Structure 1
Amino acid sequence: MSNIPFSGARLWASLMEMARIGATPKGGCNRQTLTPLDAEGRALLARWGREIGLSLTTDRLGNMALLRPGRDPSRKPVAIGSHLDTQPTGGKFDGVLGVLAGLEVMRALHESGTETEAPILLINWTNEEGARFSPPMMGSGAAMGAFTEQQVLDTTDPDGVRFGAALEAIGWKGEGDPAALRDLEAYFELHIEQGPILEREGLDLGVVTHALAQQWFDVVVTGEESHAGGAMSHRKDALVAASILVQALESIAHEAGGDGRATVGRIAVEPSSRNVVPSVARFSVDLRHGDEAALDGMAAALRERAVAVAAARGVSVEVKPFWAFPQTPFDPALAERLRQAARARSISFRDMPTGIGHDAVYVARQVPTVMIFSPCHGGISHNEAESITPQWAEAGLLVLADAVVATAGIVRA
């Protein structure tokens, strides 16, 4: 592909320009989904697409699809995708790298006048992060049949704002059917690793072979509120009981071994008064593992510990399933195409799983899919300090581009 001018410098400049939308004082981005800043980022991507002749369609959930036609209209599109939305204190690269690397592939093909056999499609998925509307990956999940459109549209944020209303308010609700995005020949996603392995091993990228299984829960501990000046011996403190369970989760992950991971990301108490013993504590649980039987064992261990804590502390504990998806393999043939592209350019790599949910995990349910990981400094992500190098971005771009073009096919004179 040496005659196609894929430009790491142009990709980097685009990343920095997009990062100005929602820029935070600490150098990150706050461009949460379905906010005016999200709309501004979408408009910039749409403008860049128009400048190179891409046709844009937007579906009823706001998923953006920018198409570059191929010579053979009977071929399904080869897609590249990720997301532009961020966490409230997010970085410049999570998701955005994949979208703008896809844009750079399109720009280079346009600049060189290269025609592909199959169309190439660039996708910006709505609400990958799940920071404002939960669960995450709603746009890709609904497109691939994991949620209904109505479920997504009726979801509300912590302030009670409905997803559908927020989408209409920013002007990005389209007319297209999200399910049309299942009709793809292949799907590629470039993403930062969000972990330390590639940097630690001095590698340029990772070929992602599969995604770990996940199970999420909401846990509600109910005790009895009482005055903070009352005796310790008679308390039914919901927060103390919850804290015992939170600490137990770390042990559950270690006991599961391998890829076992357990996280509590949210906790709230009622009545939330300084001098009242909490009567209710609610917290989220995120369990992950590369072995589904081991993951089921972690969930069972959580329930067992909940029963024991309830009995010991005189409280009730409810463990409610919230969301889950199974271990998901990515397409072996596409993974091998990435390996071949990396070897051809002398780019170092390793195979690896992802323990993190991505749009690609849902897309893989319907479409041959693969992911590429680029290193990030210290494995830091979902953080304003998130950082990569231009060289890492370029390595990911080149392998992505070569594999996408090889899949779509170049028209030969």
Structure 2
Amino acid sequence: MTRLQTQAQSKAQVLAAPRLDQLRTDSDRLWQALMDLAKLGATPKGGVNRQALTELDRQARDLFIEWCRAEGCSIRIDNIGNIFARRPGQDTDGPAVVTGSHIDTQPTGGKYDGCFGVLAGLEVIRTLNQHGIQTCAPIEVVAWTNEEGCRFPPCMMGSGVFSDQLALDKMLAQTDADGTTAGEALDAIGYRGSDAVSPSEIKAYFEAHIEQGPILEDTGNTIGVVIGALGQKWFDLTLTGVEAHAGPTPMALRKDAMMGAAEVTLAVNRIANAYQPHGRGTVGVVNLHPGSRNVIPGQVKMTVDLRHLEPATLDAMAAELEATITEIGQRHGLAAELTPTADFAPEHFDEQCVGAVRLAAQRLDCAHMDIVSGAGHDAIFVNRVAPAAMIFVPCENGISHNEIENATPHDLHSGCNVLLHAMLEAAGVVDADEE
């Protein structure tokens, strides 16, 4: 009998292991863990407000660690507060197959964004312990610090520091609205760790997550095999014309900044639609001056967000936008200033990890499709230093970052089972005869 089996028996009788192809996680246990965690920061509308490095975040971290230690996991906490819970494998010192996400939320967040990925990883460990299954590689669950970035910008802070995409000193110096630094907040909740954890310790990384969009629900699929994440180019655009009286100024003699902004908005959507299936284009903010009902707007400041999976296509979209803005400005007599504000390269996940997810979905007879992530996730940063992939499950009406965010126990269970089998594919299982 292995040490892990002995630990599990101290709490409950180890169940006889089924054939691996019949191994399933416990849906009720996963759901209960999600509901228990959601009590910390619960909002009247059924959501969660548990922002990074707050007292509620500390309580959630403590609970996660308590659950992991009960399963015999060792705990490490690094210098940005990422929590690593490891279940040893036969190769004790070898690289681990890792899963995880985050447990911080938006101010009006839901129960599943991030939390599902962390607790699905815990449920994988609970299932392996329950059936006394030993893996060749260690299994590890990580709770990344401050993925949301709503209290301390930027988002994906913990995974960004871990992967050397973000500088530790700069991140610890980031402040919230009250002037508290992230470093001070980590100290206040007792989670500025000192354990050294290296990307070289990761054999493969899988992240389960709700889709946060409507595609899976719309197509009737349970599993999204995430092949990559859209690149993003953000811009600030200022269009300057001449404010003038709305009555005496003929239409043909106006220099109306709002007309230019309206045409730019149409162009952004036209450009995105021309580069499907992965093209995205959004004007999210529009501020006009002087903002009077009987004055022609003399200036508009607006934002543009372009996204695509292929770098060359994203560059082409940006070039087309710039040329279109120049033409619109000349036609309406407007000065146009387009300023890039962010440039995130597209991310293609590791083919072998993606293949493990797809194979697991096929073996479990889950309706699935290849999909791309339009949002940022910790897996994107991890993929730059270790092989990674993601698993999406549907969320009701594609709504997330909202207190009414919802996912069904069936879909969450299916995603957790796919995670389990993808991780076992990567980690390998020790034959009973070899123990």
TM-score category, normalised to shorter length? 0.7 to 0.9
1:162-173 equivalence runs, <5 A: 162-173=181-192
- Change in CA separation of 1:247 and 1:5 when aligned onto 2, cut-off 3 Å: closer
Of 337, 340, 344, which aligns to 1:320?
340
**Aligned-partner residue type, residue 317 of structure 1:** E
| 1:339 and 2:358 matched | yes
- Change in CA separation of 1:200 and 1:5 when aligned onto 2, cut-off 3 Å: closer
- Change in CA separation of 1:278 and 1:22 when aligned onto 2, cut-off 3 Å: farther
Contact 1:29 1:86 in 2 (8 A): yes
Task: Note the C-alpha offset of 1:239.
Answer: 7.3
More off after superposition, 10-19 vs 374-383: 374-383
- Change in CA separation of 1:276 and 1:91 when aligned onto 2, cut-off 3 Å: farther
2:62, 2:300 → 1: CA distance?
42
Give the secondary-structure state (helix, strand or coil) at the position aligned to 2:415.
Answer: helix
1:61-99 deviation per Cα after TM superposition (whole angstroms, max 9, x unaligned): 111111111121242011011111222222211111111
2:177, 2:255 → 1: CA distance?
28
**Aligned-partner residue type, residue 199 of structure 1:** E
Give the secondary-structure state (helix, strand or coil) at the position aligned to 2:369.
Answer: strand
Contact 1:241 1:313 in 2 (8 A): no
| 1:196 and 2:210 matched | no
1:405 corresponds to which residue? Answer: 424
Give the secondary-structure state (helix, strand or coil) at the position aligned to 2:281.
Answer: strand
Task: Note the C-alpha offset of 1:282.
Answer: 5.2
Count of paired positions: 410
2:61 corresponds to which residue? Answer: 42
Task: Note the C-alpha offset of 1:340.
Answer: 2.6
- Change in CA separation of 1:60 and 1:237 when aligned onto 2, cut-off 3 Å: farther
- Change in CA separation of 1:275 and 1:44 when aligned onto 2, cut-off 3 Å: farther
Task: Note the C-alpha offset of 1:119.
Answer: 1.1
Unpaired segments ≥5 residues, structure 1: none
1:163, 1:187 → 2: CA distance?
26
Give the secondary-structure state (helix, strand or coil) at the position aligned to 1:91.
Answer: coil
- Change in CA separation of 1:149 and 1:270 when aligned onto 2, cut-off 3 Å: farther
1:36-72 deviation per Cα after TM superposition (whole angstroms, max 9, x unaligned): 2222222221111122121221111111111111121
2:228 corresponds to which residue? Answer: 210
TM-score after normalising by structure 1:
0.87
1:92-241 equivalence runs, <5 A: 92-177=111-196, 180-217=198-235, 219=236, 221=238
Larger CA Rg, structure 1 vs 2: 2
**Aligned-partner residue type, residue 255 of structure 1:** A
Give the secondary-structure state (helix, strand or coil) at the position aligned to 1:298.
Answer: helix
1:82-101 equivalence runs, <5 A: 82-101=101-120
Task: Note the C-alpha offset of 1:189.
Answer: 0.7
Give the secondary-structure state (helix, strand or coil) at the position aligned to 2:202.
Answer: coil
- Change in CA separation of 1:13 and 1:355 when aligned onto 2, cut-off 3 Å: same
- Change in CA separation of 1:250 and 1:164 when aligned onto 2, cut-off 3 Å: farther
More off after superposition, 97-106 vs 72-81: 72-81
1:249-283 deviation per Cα after TM superposition (whole angstroms, max 9, x unaligned): 22332233331112344566789999999988655
1:156, 1:246 → 2: CA distance?
34
More off after superposition, 339-348 vs 268-277: 268-277
Task: Note the C-alpha offset of 1:210.
Answer: 2.0
Give the secondary-structure state (helix, strand or coil) at the position aligned to 1:73.
Answer: coil
- Change in CA separation of 1:3 and 1:203 when aligned onto 2, cut-off 3 Å: closer
More off after superposition, 99-108 vs 180-189: 180-189
**Aligned-partner residue type, residue 209 of structure 1:** I
- Change in CA separation of 1:404 and 1:95 when aligned onto 2, cut-off 3 Å: same
2:62, 2:293 → 1: CA distance?
46
1:329-372 deviation per Cα after TM superposition (whole angstroms, max 9, x unaligned): 22222222223322332222222222222111111111111111
2:148, 2:245 → 1: CA distance?
39
1:238, 1:127 → 2: CA distance?
39
Of 25, 44, 53, which aligns to 2:72?
53
1:114, 1:53 → 2: CA distance?
14
1:96-138 deviation per Cα after TM superposition (whole angstroms, max 9, x unaligned): 1111000101112223332222111101112222323333212
1:356-389 deviation per Cα after TM superposition (whole angstroms, max 9, x unaligned): 2211111111111111111122222222222111
| 1:330 and 2:345 matched | no
Unpaired segments ≥5 residues, structure 2: 1-19
1:262 corresponds to which residue? Answer: 281
1:276, 1:175 → 2: CA distance?
60
TM-score after normalising by structure 2:
0.83
Give the secondary-structure state (helix, strand or coil) at the position aligned to 1:286.
Answer: strand
2:99, 2:147 → 1: CA distance?
15
2:398 corresponds to which residue? Answer: 379
1:370 corresponds to which residue? Answer: 389
1:173-217 deviation per Cα after TM superposition (whole angstroms, max 9, x unaligned): 211346x14430000111111222222222221211222222233
Contact 1:220 1:283 in 2 (8 A): yes
- Change in CA separation of 1:176 and 1:228 when aligned onto 2, cut-off 3 Å: farther
More off after superposition, 152-161 vs 196-205: 152-161
**Aligned-partner residue type, residue 54 of structure 2:** T
More off after superposition, 195-204 vs 278-287: 278-287
